[in-house]
Structure 1
Amino acid sequence: MLNCSQKLGVISVKKKIIIVGASHGGHQSILELLSRYDDVDITLFETGDFISFMSCGMELYLENSVTNVEAVRNFRPESFPQKNVHILNNHQVTKINSDQKTVSVTDLENGKSTEESYDKLILSSGVNPKSLPIPGKDLENVYLMRGYDWATKIKAKLEDPIVKNITVIGAGYIGIEAAEAAVKAGKHVNLLDVIDRPLGTYLDSELTDVISEHLAEKGVEVHTGVKISEYSGQGNQVQAVKSDQGNFPSDVVIQAAGVQPNTAWLKGTVDLDARGWIKNDKYLRTNLPDVYAIGDATLAYSVAANKKIPVALATVARREARYLVKHLFEKTPSVPFAGIVGSSALSVFDYHFAQSGLNSFTAERAGVKIASSFYEDTLRPSYVPENKVNPKVYVKLFFDPENHRLLGGAVLSTYDITAQGNVLALAISQQLKVEDLAEADFFFQPGFDRQWSLLNLAAQHALGEVEFTKK
């Protein structure tokens, strides 16, 4: 274990580290600080009353697939019994006083404010879910699909036999999870989105067409291109969602319409972009000395896009925290943050998909020119019948049209092939080309795959090669 002051070449002095936010970035920062240094004093402030609820685990909780709601978390305050770690929930950091190197903190339980000093300040303030700015958003039973409190409220409604109709706003990951949990609870579900297809910002149309059909088969009524005007009700109770495509009866409305950075409190102090994302440099430093920013409230450097883009993923926050703490006490870090690929996966009833890097939507938004290729096959050789676990598999690859460097990809099947997404992530991070993937040495066993593995075949297809026999 290192002494942070030894790294500076001076006499050891205990360094006070303040962390804002108890989600993935904050948690990983504590782990890294304790692992790497023995002379730090760590204080973490969390606005909420429940430390480190994992919203990405909410669907599992709603479907009774976890032990209990108290367990759907990264850590508890008592997870860190060390005397140099102080974890305070219900404490809101309201201001950074960079000249004095202090933060203003309000104890939300008693309203008292204090000034806390720091040597290093790590901002991992995260994002807040968006509530549509329309009439009726404050009606009862209009919920957000994020956080401990909302999870318990939604769970109660899913178990309430009086609740028949649930409308989910937003057909991204969180909205899909909400819709699936509601259907499995026996509710009638309308899924609404302003864009033209569910999961449209994550997957290209060849894959979303498969998922759209599957959602309909499972009883989810998907409505796209919808412009919502109002949540209407009688008294304080929501009863319908009004839109340009008609009214949708709603005993409960679950909003999953995106997120926004939790940075309003930083305006005028920390440099933000026009949308409120924290600006940080290639070393994750803000414009203020000894103040750093990681996680969902920042833009992450994308290896595929070669620029910073919004990537709100736990994996990103944890990698940034690991890098940051490793170099926290270097005057100028020896290397910049290497960047991320951005990978994720989701189950949609019987289908499973994983995606990594860019797709058509994110590439266009980032101004990156891409080529793409769609490949459809079976998981195993054709002599294995479908009823012996040989389902269809789908692959979409994205690459630079000039040098063929891999920039993104996605896989989809009713069989769980999501681990292939990790192969794509590694290939993208190492800047491999389609030709490299076409010839990569993967195993073969007909009980698992093909003589040329699925990603081999998808890459060969992208190169226009004569397809390997399906016999």
Structure 2
Amino acid sequence: MKVAVIGCTHAGTAAIVNTAKLHPEAEITVYERNDNISFLSCGIALYVGGVVKDPHGLFYSSPEKLAELGVKTNMRHEVTVVDTKSKTLRVRNLATGQEFDDTYDKLIMTTGSWPIVPKLEGIELEGVLLCKNYDHSNTIIEKAKQANKITVVGAGYIGVELVEAFQMNGKQVTLIDGEDRILNKYLDPEFTAPIEQSFKDHGIKLALNEKVSSFAGEGGKVTKVITSEGEHEADLVILCIGFRPNTELLKGQVDMLPNGAILVNDYMQTSCPDVYAAGDSCAIHYNPTGKHAYIPLATNAVRMGTLVARNLVTETIPYMGTQGTSGIKIYEDNIAATGLTEEGAKAEGMDVETTMIIDNYRPEFMPTFEQVQLKVVFDRATRRILGAQILSKTDLTQSINTVSVCIQNKMTIDQLAFIDFFFQPHYNKPWNFLNTVGLEALPTSVPSKEAVTV
């Protein structure tokens, strides 16, 4: 069985390693257009901020490690054409320019995503950078040494992490976003407001509700970011606007979402039976809505890549879908979220209720105790849990993984109130805060005996 893999980051590495172990007879060939594989891009801000001193720790595989499994990895090779009918590939060696053809029995598409680059005047100026891969991170670090005023465009996870890193390195930082809140896709206003205040307290300039219209410069170097509301001086600009799937190779050959994300079934199979896909190039089954969605996360990618290998020959383990669970640490605040926010649920046209608590996470008789803020979103009619968010100075983020399981298993807010959690004063109260938020949502009255029907 000839297996061709296009792209080798999170999903690709997981698919390759597991395919090699599960199908030792397979002839696996990997095509990767970069000069490195398996880079943990979620660690870029830590690298830029100096928390991670040795960037080699951000790589968890290599062509040499894959070779030990019998895998042939072609670095700096770009697949330019895929023909799913003839099962052929056209490949260009980026080092020599040589082109050649290859064939496959099974094709694994793990081509990932690429930053959205708007067509704006001045975007080609020196000092306007992207933030996605290892080369980008090295360029950012090098350019930042000579920069004093740094502007980050895009207030998603990567953007806010970079803002914190630059500020901690002594830079004057501006964060621009077209929305009126940071992290608006992941958190509701009750959670973004304290983070925004923390940014302001650290001297970061927030330019929210501003759309970038162009960049201005002198001598070919960027000096200003021009928005719908004014101008911001900048020696360096980092674009973190978002990502789109890299799927042009299969356009018109497999089913996709309008944004180009590949649709796969429960076994990671595309609409073309011998073509499988995983990771940021794919749509995922989003359990809170029951629909396909584009949520590029490393956790989704490694799960999907592993399932590709498990289902490549025989359907064995179906994909369970995802809640889009994520977490972030900004200064002293530990934040995590899963599923839908209240705003996200309403945007989907869903009729929801919410419950939120602000409580000390462990007994007040302990020497120290920090507040925890927890919000749960649930369906008004069925009371099924749809999402949750947490914020605390103490790291309580793992509790969001528990709520993720609740969403996965279609549990209700009422059931959350009475789940069995342990009690130990070092860690929590007799009523765990997950129980407490469920108790807060219980009806304030119970039906009379006469109203209860058997």
Match of 1:208 in 2: 192
Distance 1:366 1:96 in 2: 36
Residue 357 of structure 2 aligns to a residue whose secondary structure is strand
Report the alpha carbon displacement of residue 287 of structure 1 after superposing the two structures with TM. Answer: 2.6
Q: Which residue of 2 aligns with 1:446?
A: 425
AA of the residue aligned to 2:294: P
Q: Deviations over 1:376-405 (max 9, x none)?
A: 111222334xxx431221101011211211
Q: What's the CA shift for 1:36?
A: 1.7
Structure 1 residues 104-253: aligned runs within 5 Å? 104-160=90-146, 163-253=147-237
Report 1:389-404 matches (<5 A): 389-404=368-383
Deviations 1:222-268 (A, max 9, x none): 12110211110012100010112211010000110011111223323
- 1:433 equivalent to 2:412? Answer yes
> d(CA) in 2 for partners of 1:167 and 1:190?
5
**Equivalent pair of 1:23/1:74 in contact (CA under 8 Å):** no
TM-superposed CA distance for 1:80, in Å, is 2.0
> How many residue pairs were aligned?
445
Alpha-carbon displacement from aligned partner over 1:15-59 (angstroms, at most 9, x marks no partner): 111111111110111121123222111111111122222110111
Matched, 1:382 2:361: no
Correspondent of 2:327 among 337, 345, 353:
345
Deviation at residue 280 of structure 1 after TM alignment: 2.5
Question: Which amino acid in the other structure matches residue 294 of structure 1?
Answer: A
Structure 1 residues 129 and 361: CA distance shift in structure 2, 3 A:
farther
**Following the alignment from structure 2 to structure 1, what is the Cα–Cα distance between the partners of residues 69 and 301?**
25
1:413 maps to 2:392: yes
**2-side partners of 1:336 and 1:368: how far apart?**
27
CA distance in 2, matches of 1:268, 1:431: 36
Task: Tell me if structure 1 keeps the 8 A contact 2:152–2:163.
Answer: yes
**Secondary structure class of the residue paired with 1:44:** strand
Are the counterparts in 2 of residues 20 and 46 from structure 1 also a CA contact under 8 Å?
Answer: yes
Q: Distance in 2 between matches of 1:276 and 1:17?
A: 23
Take 1:28 and 1:303, find their aligned partners in 2: how far apart are those partners? 23
For the residue of structure 2 that corresponds to 1:338, the secondary structure is coil
Residue of structure 1 equivalent to 2:449: none
- Structure 1 distance, partners of 2:350, 2:28, is 41
- Answering whether residue 77 of structure 2 is matched by residue 77 of structure 1, we say no
- Kindly provide the amino acid, as one letter, of the partner of residue 99 in structure 1: K
Per the TM alignment, residue 367 of structure 1 is displaced from its structure 2 partner at its CA by 4.3
2:264 corresponds, among 280, 283, 298, to 280
Cα gap change, 1:366 to 1:336, in 2 (>3 Å): farther
Question: Aligned partners of 1:30, 1:365: CA distance in 2, in Å?
Answer: 38
Point out the more displaced range, 354-363 or 50-59.
354-363
Alpha-carbon distance between aligned partners in 1 of 2:377 and 2:59, rounded to the nearest angstrom: 35
- Whole-Å separation in 2 of the counterparts to 1:392 and 1:132: 41
How far 1:322 sits from its partner (Å)?
A: 2.2
Cα RMSD after superposing both structures? 1.7
How far 1:366 sits from its partner (Å)? 4.2
Cα distance in 1 between the residues matched to 2:50 and 2:246: 30
Measure, in 2, the Cα distance between the counterparts of 1:369 and 1:283: 31
Residue 280 of structure 2 aligns to a residue whose secondary structure is coil
Mapped partners of 1:149, 1:93: distance in 2: 20
Q: Deviations over 1:343-372 (max 9, x none)?
A: 110011111111111213433454444322
**Residues in 1 aligned to 2:233 and 2:368: alpha-carbon distance in whole angstroms:** 40
CA distance in 2: counterparts of 1:405 and 1:253, whole angstroms: 43
Distance 1:361 1:112 in 2: 51
1:53 aligns with 2:35: no
Cα distance in 2, alignment partners of residues 249 and 342 from structure 1: 36
- Give the whole-Å Cα distance in 2 for the aligned partners of 1:97 and 1:132: 30
d(CA) in 2 for partners of 1:43 and 1:207? 46
Which runs of no fewer than 5 residues in structure 2 stay unpaired? 446-454
One-letter amino acid of the counterpart of residue 178, structure 1: L
Displacement of 1:286: 1.9
Moved more, 274-283 or 167-176: 274-283
Answering whether residue 345 of structure 2 is matched by residue 359 of structure 1, we say no
Structure 2 partner of 1:36: 22
Q: Secondary structure at the match of 1:452?
A: coil
One-letter code of the match for 1:234?
E
Secondary structure at 1:461 match in 2: helix
The one-character-per-residue Cα deviations of 1:409-437 (angstroms, maximum 9, x if unpaired) are 11111111111111111111122211221
Q: Answer yes or no: is 1:292 the counterpart of 2:276.
A: yes
CA distance in 2, matches of 1:17, 1:418: 39
- Equivalent residues of 1:283, 1:337 under 8 A apart: yes
Q: Distance in 2 between matches of 1:226 and 1:66?
A: 32
Letter in 1 for 2:333: Y
| Deviation sequence 1:178-232 (CA, Å, 0-9, x none) | 1011001100111010011011110011111111111111221112110211110
| Percent of aligned pairs sharing the same letter | 33
AA of the residue aligned to 2:285: Y
Matched, 1:261 2:245: yes
Q: Separation in 2 of the partners of 1:322 and 1:49? A: 23
Distance (Å, rounded) in 2 between the aligned partners of 1:456 and 1:45: 49
Deviations along 1:428-470, one digit per CA (max 9) or x if unpaired, are 112221122111111112222111111111111122569xxxx
TM-aligned CA deviation for residue 334 of structure 1: 5.5
**Rounded Cα–Cα distance in structure 2 between residues aligned with 1:223 and 1:350:** 22
Measure, in 2, the Cα distance between the counterparts of 1:246 and 1:55: 32
Cα drift, residue 336 of structure 1? 4.0
State the partner residue of 1:305: 289
Aligned counterparts of 1:316 and 1:289: Cα–Cα separation in 2? 22
Once the two structures are TM-superposed, the CA of residue 158 in structure 1 deviates from its matched residue by 3.0
The answer on whether the counterparts of 2:257 and 2:283 sit within 8 Å (CA) in structure 1 is: no
Q: How far apart in 2 are the matches of 1:377 and 1:83?
A: 51
